[in-house]
Structure 1
Amino acid sequence: MLENEDIEDIVDEEEQNTFLLYKYLLEVGFNEDAADKLILENSSNLFGYHGLAWQLGKMSFEFYCMYFLQDTFLVKEDNVAAPIADVHREIWKDIQDSIIGNGNSQIGRVLPRGTGKSAFGTFGASCWCHAYGFKKYTLICSDIGSTAEKFIKDIKNTFLENHYIEKAFGVLLDDKDKKYVCNSTQLEFTNKTFIEAISSTSPMRGRKYGNNRPDLIILDDYQSEDDVRTEEAREKKWKRFSDDVKYCVQKAVKRNGKIVKSGTTLLALGTLQHKECFYSRLIKQPTWKFKIEKGVLIDDYVDEKGIKKNGIDHYFETGLWAEFKKSLFNFKNENHLEDAKEFYWNHEAEMQYPLLWQEFWDCLEQALNYYENPNSFKQEFQNDVDSIGEKWFKTVATYPREENETHNFIRTMLCIDPASTAKGKSDYSAFLVGSQADDNLKYARKAELAKFNARTEFDKYIDHAIKLLKEYPDITHVYIEKNTFSGVDANQLELKINKDDILRSRNIEIINDPQKKNKDDKISTIIPYMNKGQIIFAEEDQEFINQILDFRGQKFSEHDDAPDVVSEFANRIENIVVVCQARLLDRNTLF
């Protein structure tokens, strides 16, 4: 029999599959002699219809995934599968215990983004349960319909194209036979089981397949950003689920004290997005068995004053990583990113840290993700919702205005966000003259928070825009947020431009669009560019810069004018078209 060698070194597929059989026979409890005997006795049907592999897959969810779904989970030369980690084996074990063992019927995982929870949980569990008929009716619920439909597509393609499954199970899915449902949201199998995928806004209650209610419900990224944005949205999401699920689940049937029909298994997979989001509430329910994992396995600590400190922040701000950061953020060095990486490669061994998926993730890549957006990293990768409400921008690249003006600018625009009220969050009118240079960086050449209110001092507001247009003759476009004045200010500015002998010849284009996108969503798009120093400010504009550095999201910030107008500039400047005017030559020069 094969020794316990590295399976990646086995070239022959038959030998590889036999090794898998042997390995997992040992894992389910057979000793070496018994495993050898089973393989020998079943040598004529190891992988065929209801053969030894089929029998072992019924006992071991992990073996089913590693053999029958090997193109997804087993590392081979001809696929892009990543090596599995302990966290994946634990998911498989808990699902197996819940489906065919005595495990909890309501299990959940809160995992970092990129851990493969959908593949290892939703996809794997659905395929296993319906290949063997463990579950009659699976309901996959995701935040939006397109995500739910992708699950169906992946499962459908697997059962139609996977020769390992067809060889051992026969034809389980027939998309040509009209008596079976097979579309973008529903799959009916030849063994009379059914999978349906729905969005989280669709009701669960009342759904049946024959006389069966859903007996496997998978909540995969069940909440969207809109579901966590406001307290009302979070309450609505939780209430909808709480009211819905009790009318949807299949109750266990007991006769003479024995379970003759198991009840519904609920599997929840997601990432925390707020302290009171759907998954944050679900993990507190005593009837659920949840595990919460973080991507970087570094614990928080208590300092000498007894104050709890974030371990991730401390780690990446001290030691060799502090030197790395200093090099990374040295914007005066054009090769700052390359030099920082070189520093890492020179100290790679000392700069390693434990990761949840050490076999696949890279310490340098995750560190760069942290430096680009620490808050997002801690929320998405560490499941740390305490970081919500922290400052979004850790640094702003600045140089003296005089030095910024030495660059060759290829596009220049004026962005204006007029104040609409006399107090509160909108008591500033924000003006930003921004350019893109031929070095592909963006420069906020002049960034101001005007002390006047645009509504009560309208003429002063328009005159200030005229002043900036004259001060920067290369401005070709003006963007004005439309929500405040519904276009009146854009019209007045255009009239003043046309009356001015200097400005009217410049063909300045005015863009007057309403604010439709959520501000936090829009502002979040510039975080990586700000933190990497790709948007550069004049150090003289300190008040404007301070407002950016103090921004913690709309809910937690007094002002949002500065980061909002910067996001408009950064997202628009690359798309403006500068029309060069033709210069008429003296006809005498042609002869």
Structure 2
Amino acid sequence: MMTNEDNILGMNRDDIKLLLSQCFLSTKVSAKILFPDRFYLPFSSLHDTIFKILDDDSIQLALIIAPRGFGKTSSVNLAYPAKKILFQEKKFIVPISCTATQATMQGENLKRELLSNRLITSLFGPMKSDTFSKEMWVTSTGTAVMPRGAGQQVRGILYKDNRPDLIIVDDLEDGESVRSDEQRAKTKAWFFEDVLNSINRSRKDWKIIVIGTLLHEDSLLANLLEDPGWYHAHLSICDENFSSNWPDFMSDDDIKRLVDQYRRMNLLDSFYREYMGVPIAKESAKFQQNMFKYYEETDTDFVSNRKKLENLVILDPAKTSKVTSDDTAIIGVGVDVKTPRIYVRDIVKGNLHPDEQYTACFDMADRIGARVIGIEVTSLNEFITYPLRTEMIRQKRYYDIVELKARASKEERIEALVPFYRMGFVYHNRNVSGVLEQQLLSFPRSKKDDVMDALAYVVEMLELGERYFIPAEDGKDIEDEYKDLKEDDYGSDTLKPIENWRFI
């Protein structure tokens, strides 16, 4: 029986030239003609987006986020570099992956096709040269391929007089590496400092393609997705209703069955990451949109009860004494232990200098009528506490300062808010809470967590102040009930204030 290869090889010379010219102009055609066993399904319109990026030489920085099983690696790490090698369009290709082993494997897959693919050897001749090791190999047409793993030497590498003119970064991050702030920062630093500086910027014939799955809101891919200097393709196997974007690969029913399977295993967030390019599934997020309750400062009910609130301000300063470091978050909260309710009344967030932090705290305290300011002192006790008290005295604005110490990890602190939201105790000021909600909905994979971490300290503040949500009875306020209990035990003498939180 005649195969597709036999049919092509049986064509006359002119027809073969025409076919090869079509392959030269289109990676999509090259994939179908040269690698029919790999690309046996019809392409979808989403694949056309990928091929457009590959074939447009004016796009030098490209980011492709696509679902698992979509063929992105086969398209970008096989068909595309093979085409560039066969038609002698690139001199030095560097495939990069999360490990050297993975990068070498991708390079070996490409090498094997060039050596053993019957169509390639018949149409283009033998590709092997004297330099053909796993670490680096050179084709008979003069193109060098050097696979690299994350963190390996890339900057400054040369093949003869050529810097890399095609870099393909495939799955540089994995689930483990994106969990650590330090590892994410390390990956980004290596990519921007080494990978992006390995090409010859005086020329215009280079191209860098990054492909992968979005694993975290502060991952390298997420940062590149926000960079207007990169051409983006953010693809999903289905829409939000789980309708397939590639029916030839997976039907609507196939996708819904897969979703149900992930849901039963309590791994729906994995489905969203792997198949839809979303860092976390909304259905399995700790904080759900339907948990959020709202109010406005002008609401009649709020205005009538405002005098009963105990108000406080919480400052979560940047985690280093450098004045240009991470964002500072300041949050104003009103507490009604009788209702019970926690009102998120005000939020200030930004890269503030220390003196700006102090003034912003004082201003917020005055706006909401707070007499207590809580400050996180995990790593900056000397840096923040003494200057804050000094500035308070200098400005003649006096508040009780409560030092808040991290008694658990940041993730555990924030997660402690979940019961309060689930029970409907927390109310957001509709006019200021957008940044807080964005962080909560993405937790624990939020790119930023400063505001929600500041709010999380309200739990410690309430505990230090011995404020507990106990419904009032007999028309008495909670404070009246505490007073009655204390008088029964100790008489009517004036009570001493709580040591760490005198009053709110």
How would you bin the TM-score normalised by the shorter chain?
Answer: 0.5 to 0.7
Q: Distance in 2 between matches of 1:381 and 1:44?
A: 44
Residue 95 of structure 1 corresponds to 54
1:147 aligns with 2:106: no
Q: Distance in 1 between matches of 2:284 and 2:257?
A: 23
Residue 168 of structure 2 corresponds to 218
Q: How many residues align?
A: 291
Aligned counterpart for 1:46 among listed residues 6, 15, 21? 15
1:238 aligns with 2:188: yes
Greater relative CO, 1 or 2 (CA 8 Å, sep 6+)? 2
Q: CA deviation at 1:143?
A: 0.4
Residue 246 of structure 2 corresponds to 357
1:370 aligns with 2:262: yes
Residue 66 of structure 1 corresponds to 32
Q: Distance in 2 between matches of 1:167 and 1:157?
A: 15
Return 5+ residue gaps in structure 2 as ranges.
289-410, 412-442, 457-504
TM-score, normalised relative to structure 1 = 0.45
Q: CA deviation at 1:45?
A: 4.8
Q: Distance in 2 between matches of 1:240 and 1:14?
A: 44
1:83 aligns with 2:42: yes
Calculate the aligned-residue CA RMSD, in Å.
Answer: 3.1
Amino acid aligned to 1:360: F
Residues 369, 377 of structure 1: 8 Å contact kept = no
Q: CA deviation at 1:281?
A: 0.5
Q: Distance in 2 between matches of 1:205 and 1:56?
A: 35
Aligned counterpart for 1:55 among listed residues 21, 40, 43? 21
Q: Distance in 2 between matches of 1:187 and 1:69?
A: 21
Report 1:32-431 matches (<5 A). Answer: 43-47=12-16, 51-73=17-39, 75=40, 82-98=41-57, 103-174=58-129, 180-253=130-203, 262-298=204-240, 354-361=243-250, 362-371=254-263, 372=265, 373-387=267-281, 390-391=284-285
Q: Distance in 2 between matches of 1:246 and 1:276?
A: 19
Q: CA deviation at 1:267?
A: 0.5
Q: Distance in 1 between matches of 2:122 and 2:6?
A: 17
Query: Identity over aligned residues, as a percent?
Result: 21
Q: Distance in 1 between matches of 2:200 and 2:82?
A: 20
Q: Distance in 2 between matches of 1:90 and 1:290?
A: 10
User: Cα distance 1:389–1:250, how it changes in 2: closer, same or farther (>3 A)?
Assistant: farther
User: Cα distance 1:381–1:95, how it changes in 2: closer, same or farther (>3 A)?
Assistant: same
Q: Distance in 2 between matches of 1:377 and 1:191?
A: 43
Q: Distance in 2 between matches of 1:272 and 1:89?
A: 20
Q: Distance in 1 between matches of 2:243 and 2:92?
A: 40
Q: CA deviation at 1:191?
A: 0.8
Give 3-state SS (helix, strand or coil) of 1:360's partner: coil
Aligned counterpart for 1:13 among listed residues 3, 24, 28? 3
Q: CA deviation at 1:182?
A: 1.1
Q: Distance in 2 between matches of 1:115 and 1:243?
A: 30
Q: CA deviation at 1:389?
A: 11
Return 5+ residue gaps in structure 1 as ranges.
1-10, 22-38, 76-81, 175-179, 254-261, 299-314, 316-352, 395-519, 521-551, 559-591
User: Cα distance 1:94–1:553, how it changes in 2: closer, same or farther (>3 A)?
Assistant: closer
User: Cα distance 1:16–1:284, how it changes in 2: closer, same or farther (>3 A)?
Assistant: farther
Amino acid aligned to 1:113: R
Q: CA deviation at 1:187?
A: 2.0
Q: Distance in 2 between matches of 1:89 and 1:278?
A: 24
User: Cα distance 1:248–1:225, how it changes in 2: closer, same or farther (>3 A)?
Assistant: same
TM-score, normalised relative to structure 2 = 0.53
User: Cα distance 1:272–1:189, how it changes in 2: closer, same or farther (>3 A)?
Assistant: same
Q: Distance in 2 between matches of 1:139 and 1:225?
A: 23
Tell me the alpha carbon deviations over residues 154-210 of structure 1, each in whole angstroms, 9 at most, x when there is no partner. Answer: 111101111111111111224xxxxx2212232210111111111012131011111
